[in-house]
Amino acid sequence: MESVLSLNAISKSYGKIKALNNVSYNVPKGSVFGILGPNGSGKTTMLGIVLNALQADTGSFSWFGMPGSPATRKRIGSLLETPNFYHYLSAVDNLKITQAISQRGNEEDIHKALEIVKLTERKNTRFSTYSLGMKQRLAIGAALLGNPEVIVFDEPTNGLDPVGILEIRELIKELAQQGKTIIMASHLLDEVEKVCTHVAIMKRGTLLTAGAVDEVLSNEDIVEISAANMDKMVEIFTNYTGVTHIKKQESNNTIQLFLKLGEANLEAVNKHCFDNGIVLNHLVLKKKSLETKFFELTNN
Amino acid sequence: MLALIKIEWLKIKKYPAFWWMLGIVALTYPGINLMFYRIFLQITTRKDMTGAVAKSLLGNPFAFPETWHSVGYFSSFFVMIPAILVIMIITNEYQYKTHRQNVIDGWSKEQFITSKILDVAIITIVASIMYLLTAAGYGFTVQDDNKANWMEEIKYIPLFLLQTFAQLTIAFLLGFLIKKAFIALGIFIFYFLIIENIATGLLKNVVKTSVGRFLPLEISDKLIPVPKFLGKIDEASYNQNLAEVNEHIVYTILLTAGIWWLCYFVYRKRDL
């Protein structure tokens, strides 16, 4: 698949702190690419590097198969870290500057962008009078200005209320349907899981895993079962073929059987229980949640 | 280049400090000159002989062509007003992180610094227009019959432009390196008003060396020496200052070019 962005062994240090350590991956065209990681994992540093705000110590990157340059950046709508605007100017005047520098869109597009992020009513008031959520909306509007083919969002839902978060999530889905490539850094797992097609997980500057969401998440099958006699259940599955490990969940009185990908057979599990005198009251094949995977990877 | 000017104008035209600067310059340039003009009038309109002697010796410093020189000299005392604006313009970019956004949106780092050179140039031109109007205003209104020679000393117009640009460049450098408006402003004003004057005086009168003329602001201060009527106090020194102007044009251009080169160099290497 054609790559929009390719990172090749990017490293960056701040003194003794290694902010990025040999990070490489590709962002496929048309994907919604989520970059996940706890605070300080290097997500923003990495986006800063590919947007030329920061300089990598070693490594290289390319956009659309070309080295990063002002011309490639003009094709990318970006919100990096915080909404950065002239406080004494209105939303319209600020977007005029964005438009003039990026050469994306025209006067009409400025109003369209403001309409998408629901700032039309306040378009002529100074940026300094905006609430945190409105500032964030304007930054999203600036990134959308002129319909760029790639959009970079660094924590796009920061400062937004629940309705705003939902709207942005829907907007990202809509943009993805239009064939745009969206690169989104977030520490909100739920947000990434709901909208992303691809994911990269980072921890302390190191890339732990990257790929399509299904591939990253589904390297195991999880069968969740429940019955009256929990201890007996654990006992009969200890040596069951294919089970790699068993997790007892006291909170909801269930146990989880972890099997190699594709080896879970619910019918066989049910029969095994029945043959051993156990009647199940709960049997379900579960997909590993991004949250589980994330903690599994980042807690190691 | 035109595109950069248009973008900078979008940033400046609705910046209240720009219009405040313009208003204050519009008041202070004629104001300081009016003060010196009144002192001159007080001396030369005395009823006794000293008035007539002073007038014949000094000439009218606010009549053509000397007005270009005198008004340029007195107006340059107030370079700190546009300097405040220059420092605010660059430190605002850091405070709002808009310099970073400009690059992310598609400017090269070099374009950002070029845009700031244009800001300093625009402010220099505005200040110089104020100087020009003030000097011409005095030239045309003070009582003097000789208005035909108005063009004689107009070399002070480009000298004022160069001096203002050079000194605002130093103010820019402070804002650019220090990033914090109040610290940069404090250092600039303290250095401009106190440090350099003391250092120049000490070097000249105590150490007995002319090295003081190479201090950063003094290099371009020397482009417009004291006006002719004040020069009469120490004519030898006045003539020497006049003789050194061409040399200082070269030094000023070299220093200013060096500062902008440093800005390009630092900004290219710097994380935003």
* Per-residue pLDDT reduced to its tens digit, A287-296: 666 777 777 7
Q: Do A84 and B103 touch (CB under 8 A)?
A: no
Mean of pLDDT values over A44-61? 94
Location of each CATH 3.40.50.300 domain in chain A: 3-216
Pair B85, B120: CB distance under 8 Å: no
Closest by Cβ to A85, choosing from B96, B104, B108: B96
The C-alpha atoms of residue A102 and residue A145 are separated, in whole angstroms, by 9
The pair of three-digit structure tokens given for residue B227, joined into one six-digit string: 């006006």
The C-alpha atoms of residue B73 and residue B221 are separated, in whole angstroms, by 9
Length of chain A: 300
Q: Do A86 and B104 touch (CB under 8 A)?
A: no
Place of tokens 């204050």: B24
**Tens-place pLDDT, residues A179-204:** 899 999 987 777 777 788 898 989 88
Give residue B130's pLDDT: 93
**Tens-place pLDDT, residues A120-162:** 999 999 999 998 888 999 999 999 999 999 999 998 888 888 8
In the predicted model, what is the mean pLDDT of chain A?
88
User: Best of B7, B13, B97, B105 to disrupt the A interface by mutation (most A CBs within 10 Å)?
Assistant: B105
Q: Judge residue B172's burial from the number of C-beta atoms within 10 Å of its C-beta, 0-12 exposed, 13-18 middle, 19 or more buried.
A: buried
Location of each CATH 3.30.70.100 domain in chain A: 219-298
Listed in sequence order, the residues at least 6 apart from B153 whose beta carbon sits closer than 8 Å to its beta carbon are: B65, B66, B67, B68, B69
Residues of A with CB under 8 A from a CB of B: 48, 51-55, 69-71, 73-74, 78, 80, 82, 84-89, 93, 96-98, 100-103, 142
Three-state secondary-structure class, residue B122: helix
DSSP secondary structure, A105-150, as one string: S-HHHHHHHHHHTT-GGGTTSBGGG--HHHHHHHHHHHHHTT--SE
Q: At residue B143, does pLDDT exceed 70?
A: no
In the predicted model, what is the mean pLDDT of chain B?
89
Q: Which residues of B touch A85 (CB under 8 A)?
A: 96, 98, 101
**Tens-place pLDDT, residues B75-129:** 999 999 999 999 999 999 999 999 999 999 999 999 999 999 999 999 999 999 9
- From A104, which residue of chain B is nearest by alpha-carbon distance? B105
Q: Which residues of B touch A84 (CB under 8 A)?
A: 96-98, 100-101
C-alpha B115: how far from chain center: 20
The pair of three-digit structure tokens given for residue A79, joined into one six-digit string: 């919100």
Tell me the ipTM for this assembly: 0.87
**Tens-place pLDDT, residues B218-238:** 899 989 988 877 777 778 888
Give residue A219's pLDDT: 65
Q: Higher confidence at residue B108 or residue A176?
A: B108
| Type of residue at A104 | R
Give residue A101's pLDDT: 96
> Residue A62: what are its φ and ψ, rounded to 5°?
-140, 145
Q: At residue B49, does pLDDT exceed 70?
A: no
CATH number attached to the domain at A219-298: 3.30.70.100
Of the candidate CATH numbers 1.20.1730.10, 3.40.50.720, 3.40.50.300, 3.40.50.2000, the domain formed by A3-216 belongs to 3.40.50.300
**Tens-place pLDDT, residues B158-195:** 999 999 999 999 999 999 999 999 999 999 999 988 88
Pair A197, A31: CB distance under 8 Å: yes
Pairing state of beta strands A66-67 and A58-63? antiparallel
Q: Among the ranges A31-45, A285-299, B117-131, B196-210, which has the highest mean pLDDT value?
A: B117-131
Q: At residue A300, does pLDDT exceed 60?
A: no
The pair of three-digit structure tokens given for residue A216, joined into one six-digit string: 């990253």
Element holding A83 (H helix, E strand): none
Closest by Cβ to B107, choosing from A70, A96, A142: A70
Which runs of E-coded beta strand occur in chain B? none
Give residue B211's pLDDT: 81
Q: Judge residue B51's burial from the number of C-beta atoms within 10 Å of its C-beta, 0-12 exposed, 13-18 middle, 19 or more buried.
A: middle
The C-alpha atoms of residue B150 and residue B64 are separated, in whole angstroms, by 5
